[in-house]
Structure 1
């Protein structure tokens, strides 16, 4: 119901400004209002789309490459409690520790902190007529989820992340040796 209401309000807003009608008004909304404001065009690591379609599940590809979202309470890591590190499913970059994972009740894995500040890139996202902060892997640009300011102490942050964008490496002697290939390989097509 809320989605239909938001879509209706957004449509009405566009029509008020002359968009979506037969009038010849120029677009007065910047492109940023209609979606994410990604300013970065290149990333340190990139993969051909054909390779990603073969390597990732359809859900992983949709979430990470097409800025999709998995349904709430359906992701593999929503209730995951094992100790270890969560990596980008696309490039294997380490993103979050299980030590910062918490149950936000939102239906998506939530973390209150990053492994390293530079692990994730942030961008304004105005899709669906809302303002949110999109999180992407700072190495390959894969869409992860969104950041909110309603998390627990000490950071007050909630990184609301799609399970489909994550690969998990259990704590143990090999934990610090994750590479781009092993991080992506731990999350093969059978996982989701």
Structure 2
């Protein structure tokens, strides 16, 4: 059969279709034992883009871009996350490890809870923390900040070595134990 022009068909069934451009307006699906449409692969309920054996609900090999944000209960980064700005609102951060971080502003407001926050070889400028509860805050090897403001917060086991500060303001029921020198 040869066709020139447009073909409108309902419930068309074709085994092999060769076409320059196919426009599917309702749905495109792989049927039978096929698990691929272009570079999108499905395996066991998982969807993979540019990976033939997706191991997660969405498994992408390459770079993913989300222009309007990500909504998640848990965000796990096994290697690294690069970002000009990272904003956490009403968040719980567990075992936060930062190595060689340089940031202009780190703002943690409205009940940010971090059992362990570790920053190594980092520069944090203008740190503002409101209602922060932390079990352990570890700052090792030259963490510097010109301004650190912590309000209504509990800091337990804070260890500082070679601290240089222009001013330390401890108001309203603060008990401060100082070692051999300050």
Which bracket does the TM-score occupy, shorter chain normalised?
Answer: under 0.3
Q: Which has the higher helix share?
A: 1
TM-score, structure 2 length as denominator? 0.19
Task: State the TM-score, normalized to the length of structure 1.
Answer: 0.18
Rg (Cα) greater in structure: 2
